Every structure is written in structure tokens, then in C-alpha cells.
Structure 1
Amino acid sequence: MASHLIQGRTVGMPVRVRDAEVCSAFYPVRADAARAVLAYSGLDVAEVLPGKAVCVLLFVDYRDGDLDAYHEFGMAFLVRPPGVPGSTRLGDLRRAGLFVHWLPVDRPFTLEAGRSLWGFPKELADIELRLGSPYKRCILRKDGRLVLDLLIKPGTSVPGVTTMAPPAAYTHLEGVTRRVPWSVRARGARIRPSGALIRLGNHPIAKELSELGLPKRAMFTSTVSHAELTFGEAEEA
């Protein structure tokens, strides 16, 4: 089994998260604007409809895992994996990947591990999660400036335990694009159309989201009260 040394600690692969709460909102955005944002990666967005890409905003409470407990926020896009031709057919989205554009966290150890192991674009930020009520809320600040305040309303329950093969994750750091294999096992999943309220702040990332044409309504939202995740060894894409 491969292992890596991070801040004097040995981290074995694959990295396992034994318990996390995950909340996400999927937004239709302008494909041309999303392409401009992702130009540095060499990847192209997957269009759900002509001229429309998908931006995923998510926040996670990692409660128990190999990288300790921490909070995380993610900004990602559905993309065409390298070598896959462009299409706007909804069925072809099953082949789409998930490119992680920005991934702030609130602990230094997971920041270094995420960057060195997988090339995740992790930065330190102030991430306040309010998960104790039916509504799930994330207030994200970076460098003392509000990035966003995102509220997600849980929807219809998905019964049982669901083992998912999610889209392959892609990252880009220091000129290298990587593919990160991962898997999810979910309990307490809920999903609903729309279901999100968002307020953007005055941080540059908030401006970037605004310029994507982020609409008032999400396509749909999802919440998972108990998720187990596994992250494998990254490969150059």
C-alpha cells in the first residue's frame, strides 16, 4: 500500500473518510464564462444544454477521517474528460468529470495533504457551518471578506444505503492536471429541485460566481447526513 509523509505523519492510500455530512447545490451557468474560468486547466466544460454548463457548490463537515476533522467548501464544474468529444445530449453527461476549481478548508494539515497528494486547490478560509437545523447553511469568508452565504433546504428522502460511483474528479495545480479516483457510500440522502438560497459577498471568488451568470434558482440540491468517502492515488490526466 502506498503511503506519503505529511507534516511528519504517514498517510496511507487510499485515504478514507468514515463519516461526513455533505450538502451541494447544482447551478446552470454560462458555458462561455465557465470556459474562461477553466482555461488554465486544459479541460472543457460539459454542456447540459447549448450554451449552459453546470457549477457545483458544496460544503462538507468531515467528522472522522484519515485527515482528521475539518470543514470544506468546494466550487467545481462538470467537464468533458480528456479525449471525450463535446456534446449537449443529457445522456452523455454520465461520462462527465468533476473539475475542482477552488477548495478552501479550515485546517492546515488537510490543506497540505490535499495539495500534495492530489493537487486539490486548497486554501485556508473561515468556514462556518450551521447543520443542526433542517436547513443547512455555510458562511464562507476568505481574508476577512465574505465570499458567500449559502442555505440549502433538504428535500425528499432517498431510502437505504447508496453506494455511488461519482464522476471522476479532476484537479490542476502547478501546471499539472490530475485525475483523482474516489467513491462514496451515502446514508440519509435527500434531494429536491431548486432548494438553495445564496448571497454573494465582495470577495474576488464572489465576483467570479456573479460573472458566470449564477441564477437565483439552483437546478437541484442534495444533502447526505452520513457519507463514507475513499480517495485513491492521483494520476496525471
Structure 2
Amino acid sequence: MASHLIQGRTVEMPVRIRDATVCTAAYAVRADSARAVLAYSGLDVAEFLPGKAVCMLVFVDYRDGDLDTYHEFGVTFLVRPPGVKATPGLSDIRNAGAFVHWLPVDQGFTLSAGRGIWGFPKELAEIDLRLASPYKRCIVRKDGRMVVDLLLRPGLPMPGGSGLMPVTAYTHQDGVTRTVPARASFAGARVRPGGALIRLGNHPVAKELSELGLPKRALFTSVTGHAAAEFGEATVWDGAAWEGA
């Protein structure tokens, strides 16, 4: 079984998350603006309509997992797998994975593990999660500056999935693009169209989000009370094929 030594601790693969709350707001953004943001990665956005890409803001409360307990906020984009031709519409979205562009966390161990094992762009930030009421709120501050204040309204309950479903994430660190295979299950999910209130601060990431057209109405929001997942070994894209990391 593969393993990694992180801060003197052995992390066995796959890494397992046994219980977490996951909150997501998905936004339609200009595809050309999203491409400019992701130009460093060599990946291209998926388009659900011609000229329209999807940016997802995600905040997570990890309560039980191999990387300890912590809070996380993510800025992600739906992207096409490398080498796949653009076909705007449902086929583009159906084959898309999630490229993780920015991923602040509030604990050092998960930061080291995320960067060292998969190349996730984790960095330390102040993440204030308020999950006790039906309204779920996340406030992110970095370097003493507010980045984002995101509030999600409750939606309608959705049936839970049966078992772990495959999910693909992409990362880029130090000039290297990786794919991260994962499987996830969701119980207690509530979904609705719209449902988000967002306020941006004066941090550079907030400016980047504003250049994508935020704040605006979300396509949809979701809140999952009990999510579980496992993450496998990353593979590296060499420009032609995926290789073992």
C-alpha cells in the first residue's frame, strides 16, 4: 500500500474522509475570463453554453478524516480533460473534472499533506464557518484582508447516492499538472436554484472573482450534511499522457 511521510506522520493511501459538511455555490462565468485565470495550468474550461463556464465556490467542515479536523474554502472551475476537443454543451460538462485554483485551509497538517501528496494549492487563511442554523455561512480572510463572505440558503432535500461515486480533480503546482482520482458519497443533501448571497473583499483573489463577474446570482447551491470521500494517488500530465506521480 502506498504511503507518504508528512510532518513525521505516515499517511496511507487512499486518504479517507469519513464525515464532512460540504457547501457549494455554482456560478456561470465568462469562459474567456476563466481561461485567463487558468492560463498557467495548461487546462481549458468546459462550456455548458458557448462562451459560458462554471466556477464553483465551496466551503467544507472536515469533522473526521485521515488529515484531522479542519475548515477549507475552494475556488474551482469545471475543465475538460487534457487533449479533449471542445464541444460546448452537456457533453463538455459530462466529461468535466474540477480544477482546484485556490484552496485555503486553517490547519498546517492538511496544508502540508495536500500540497505534498496531490499538489493542491493549499495555503493558510482564517476561515470562519457558521453552520449551526439552516443558513450556512463562510467568511474567509487572508493576510488581514477579507476575501469573501458567502451565505447559502437551504434548498430542497435530495435522495442520497448509493455508495462512493467517482470524481476527478485537477491541480497544478510548480509547473506540474496532476489529476487526482477520488470517490465521494453524499447524504443529507439539499439543493436549490440560486440561493447564495456573496460579498467580496479587497484581497487579490476577491478582485479575480469580481473580474469573472461576481457577485451575481448563482446557478444553484447545495448543502450536504454528511459527505464522505477517498482520494487516491495523483498522476502527472506530461503533455501527452498521464504518468505516475
The TM-score with structure 1 as length reference comes to 0.97
> Could you list the per-position Cα deviations for residues 184-212 of structure 1 after superposition, in whole angstroms to 9, with x for gaps in the alignment?
11110111000100000000000000001
Which residue of structure 1 aligns with residue 19 of structure 2?
A: 19
Which residue of structure 1 aligns with residue 140 of structure 2?
A: 140
Unaligned segments of structure 1, at least 5 residues: none
Supply the RMSD in Å over aligned alpha carbons.
1.1
Which residue of structure 1 aligns with residue 126 of structure 2?
A: 126
Could you list the structure 1 runs, at least 4 aligned residues long, displaced by more than 6 angstroms after superposition: none
User: What's the secondary structure of 1:210's corresponding residue?
Assistant: helix
Worse-matched range after superposition: 209-218 or 196-205: 209-218
CA distance in 2, matches of 1:12, 1:224: 26
> Could you list the per-position Cα deviations for residues 151-192 of structure 1 after superposition, in whole angstroms to 9, with x for gaps in the alignment?
011211013444453541000001100000001111101110
Which residue of structure 2 aligns with residue 3 of structure 1?
A: 3
Summarize the alignment of residues 1-237 of structure 1 with structure 2, pairs less than 5 Å apart.
Answer: 1-163=1-163, 165-237=165-237
CA distance in 2, matches of 1:157, 1:88: 30
Structure 1 residue 215: Cα displacement = 4.6
CA distance in 1, matches of 2:89, 2:114: 33
CA distance in 2, matches of 1:160, 1:4: 32
CA distance in 1, matches of 2:47, 2:160: 32
Number of aligned pairs?
237
Q: Percent identity?
A: 72
CA distance in 2, matches of 1:58, 1:205: 14
Distance change (3 Å), C-alpha of 1:164 and 1:18: closer
User: What's the secondary structure of 1:32's corresponding residue?
Assistant: helix
